[in-house]
């Protein structure tokens, strides 16, 4: 794999993810490009976050003929045996929106309170090129689930998740504050460290 070409294509149709990861890569020798029109991502049939990220990264790398970065993220709630996990984006159904997913999660946690609402966000990134070479990185953040949504920022389950050491949800943090402690920010940092060790990242 080489990163002499500064263009990475983001293997996601989620504009919020593209925007967030682009911000995390600010100042890096990388230009993150959104998924080009006409390219359809394959179904996420993997049973793990890593498998789904690999599916998207590999398909996009072949489609664009260059480096592709994919993200798969899951919210794992201990009291629910790790749900919604790999199904986080489609927890309330294939066509469900963020509010639908949050509503289902709150319903599933009815009667569960306080310390029993422990959870974590996990993000797995895969950077792939058409030759089949790839790197994977993971980031996670521990916290707990509120009993009602709070905050207007972020996306997904952010209005329900309070990270350890904070009193605010991810949706109440500024973008810079969220990126400094988030699972996605930690995954990007892990990927950067791997590329630095390989001599393929210039500060």
Residue of 72, 78, 100, 129 marked catalytic: 72
- Whether 158 is a known active-site residue: answer no
* Peptide bond before residue 146 is cis, with ω within 30 degrees of 0: no
| Kind plus residue range of the DSSP H or E element containing 187 | helix 183-197
The Cα-based distances of 48 to 33, 45, 90, 97 in angstroms read 25, 9, 14, 21
Determine the Cα–Cα distance for residues 26 and 132; give it in Å rounded to an integer.
Answer: 26
Contact between residue 200 and residue 3 where contact means Cβ atoms under 8 Å apart: yes
| Kind plus residue range of the DSSP H or E element containing 73 | strand 68-77
Long-range CB pairs of 148-154 (<8 Å, 24+ gap) are 148/106, 149/102, 149/106, 153/178, 154/178
CA 41 to the chain's CA centroid: 16
For the chain, the 3-state helix, strand and coil shares in percent, each to the nearest 5, are 40, 20, 40
Catalytic residues: 72
């Amino acid at each position: 794999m080489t990163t002499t070409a500064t263009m990475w294509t983001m293997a996601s149709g989620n504009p919020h993810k593209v925007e967030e990861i682009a911000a995390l890569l600010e100042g890096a020798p990388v230009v993150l490009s959104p998924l080009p029109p006409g390219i359809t991502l394959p179904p996420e049939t993997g049973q793990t976050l890593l498998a789904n990220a690999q599916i998207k990264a590999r398909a996009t790398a072949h489609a664009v003929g260059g480096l592709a970065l994919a993200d798969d993220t899951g919210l794992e709630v201990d009291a629910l045996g790790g749900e919604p996990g790999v199904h986080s984006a489609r927890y309330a159904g294939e066509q469900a929106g963020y509010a639908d997913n949050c509503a289902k999660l709150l319903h599933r946690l009815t009667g569960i309170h306080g310390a029993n609402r422990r959870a974590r966000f996990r993000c797995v990134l895969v950077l792939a090129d058409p030759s089949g070479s790839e790197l994977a990185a993971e980031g996670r953040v521990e916290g707990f689930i509120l009993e009602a949504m709070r905050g207007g920022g972020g996306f997904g389950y952010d209005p329900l998740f309070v990270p350890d050491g904070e009193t605010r949800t991810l949706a109440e943090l500024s973008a810079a504050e969220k990126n400094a402690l988030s699972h996605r920010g930690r995954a990007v940092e892990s990927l950067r460290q791997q590329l630095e060790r390989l001599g393929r990242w210039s500060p």
